[in-house]
Amino acid sequence: MLLLYCLIFYLIGSIPTAYILIKIKYGKNLSEEGSGNIGARNTLDVTGSKADGLIVLFSDLIKGLIPALLLINYADLGKWQMIIPLTLLVVGHNFSVWIKFKGGRGLATAAGVFIAADFVFVVLWLAFYFLADFFIKNANVSTVISLLAIPAAVLIFPGPAVEYLNPVLGGGDDLFYCLTLFISIGTVILLKHIEPLRQWRFINFQK
């Protein structure tokens, strides 16, 4: 049963909403336009349409949220087993089988998963992101910092994390479950930020 969920969730995650929208509406291949990223940001950059960008953003978020809610509330799986299909939603988005394993960077789909799993981690993620972006002014670098900051904070301050976060998350081993899910999905997102980080480092080195 777990393998079936994994396959279904990967295929759902693989639905390239941005690619489909741009192909139908503009007759363009989004993977060959702008940054080549199949997501809301590149949709906005290529089309100049905030409406199109928001449609893709909302669609990708829902693509993570609805399947995750259904899995968490109705699937006959242990919560630790659920980490695999939930992560595969983002794997599918980032490496879509429908478009030769191209895809987006997984942020909106991941946010949908985390909203379903526990909204607290979305708030923490956004807080670290905006704090980093305030100083760095680069979305890709801020994303990487925010993804690394939460696990680092829990590892450096395990006592306060357990004392203050665990009750909010539900108690028991929920903090470590959410942290494991966050690290699993975060790793998939980080893979898509390697090249943007290299470009950012090169540009700053040139300066």
Range of the domain at 125: 118-207
Tens digit of each residue's pLDDT, the chain (207 residues)? 899 999 999 999 999 999 999 999 999 999 999 999 999 999 999 999 999 999 999 999 999 999 999 999 999 999 999 999 999 999 999 999 999 999 999 999 999 999 999 888 899 999 999 999 999 888 889 999 999 999 999 888 888 877 777 776 666 678 889 899 999 999 999 999 988 788 777 566 555
Residue 93 lies in a domain: no
Say if CB 165 and CB 179 are below 8 A apart: no
Residue 176 lies in a domain: yes
Burial of 204 (0-12, 13-18, 19+ CB in 10 A): exposed
Q: Tell me, what amino acid is at 1? A: M
Q: What are phi and psi of 97, to 5 degrees?
A: -65, -25
Residue 146 lies in a domain: yes
Residue 131 lies in a domain: yes
Residue 82 lies in a domain: no
Residue keyed to tokens 């390239």 = 16
Residue 162 lies in a domain: yes
Read off the tokens for 170.
């539900």
Say if CB 33 and CB 42 are below 8 A apart: yes
Residue 141 lies in a domain: yes
Closest CA to 182 of 207, 152, 206: 152
Q: Please give the tally of structural domains in the chain.
A: 1
Residue keyed to tokens 């809610």 = 69
pLDDT score for 164: 73
Residue 125 lies in a domain: yes
The C-alpha atoms of residue 147 and residue 129 are separated, in whole angstroms, by 8
Q: Please tell me the pTM assigned to this model.
A: 0.91
